[in-house]
Chains A and B, each alone.
Chain A
Amino acid sequence: MNAMAILALIAKGITIAEVLIAAGQTAAPALKVIGRVIRGAQAGAVTDEELEAEEAALDKLIADFNAPI
């Protein structure tokens, strides 16, 4: 992933963290996810194994939101 895309991800992460903190929510879990995504993007070359690990985490996030409310 190129440097601009990584910077954009960092900016998005900071925005989300600001909103969570302002809303009185724990930002730590979200920051952990965002940090992992950014580190993965910085790592450069993408292998199938790396993608699968990130995809499993994303699938869980989607399933969490899609659970009946």
Chain B
Amino acid sequence: MKRIIALVLVAFTLSACGPQLEALKTAVKFGAASVQNPVTKDRLREVEAGVTILFVGLNAWRSSCVRGLIPDTCEQQIRTVQIYTMQIPPYLKELRRFVRQNDQVNAVVVFNELTSIIALVKAKGAESGVNLEVAR
């Protein structure tokens, strides 16, 4: 049990920068959208698959926190990340609508906003020792 807790601590605390933390990299890179590089249904699906895996990682972090496997500071760290993750649903909803309507002008704008927020989520996670690397 001590070994498990130690592994979690290594993986999630700020001081951790060893191989366990490296292993937590969640590779999801989306690139920028433009008129020349439109947001197709397939691309939307690719982004949503990446975001799904990102949130699987975030929920694992949250679960470790709720179960008391990592230091109590995790609660505040998660609240900080939530400031950004809470912005994702409305953007995602709009992006889905624009892609279905093939409104590329708005889809590209929302897509780039969304990927910026995801990059912020990654950065805030990294500040808390959770490396949610956004790279394909």
Once the chains bind, are A23 and B7 in contact (CB under 8 Å)?
Answer: yes
Q: Decide: A12 and B58 in contact? CB cutoff 8 A.
A: no
Q: How many residues of B contact A (CB 8 A)?
A: 48
What residue in chain A is nearest B78 (Cβ atoms)? A69
> How many cross-chain pairs have Cβ atoms below 8 Å apart between A and B?
129
- The distance in angstroms between the C-alpha atoms of A46 and B45, with both chains bound, is 8
- How many A residues face the partner with a CB closer than 8 A? 38
| Interface residues of chain A: helix, strand, loop or mixed (majority) | helix
- The reply to whether A18 and B46 contact each other, CB–CB distance below 8 Å, is no
Q: Contacts of A48 on B, CB cut-off 8 Å?
A: 100
Residues of B with C-beta under 8 A to A66: 82, 85-86, 89
Residues of A within 8 A of B25 (CB): 15
Cβ of B23 within 8 Å of any chain A Cβ, yes or no, is yes
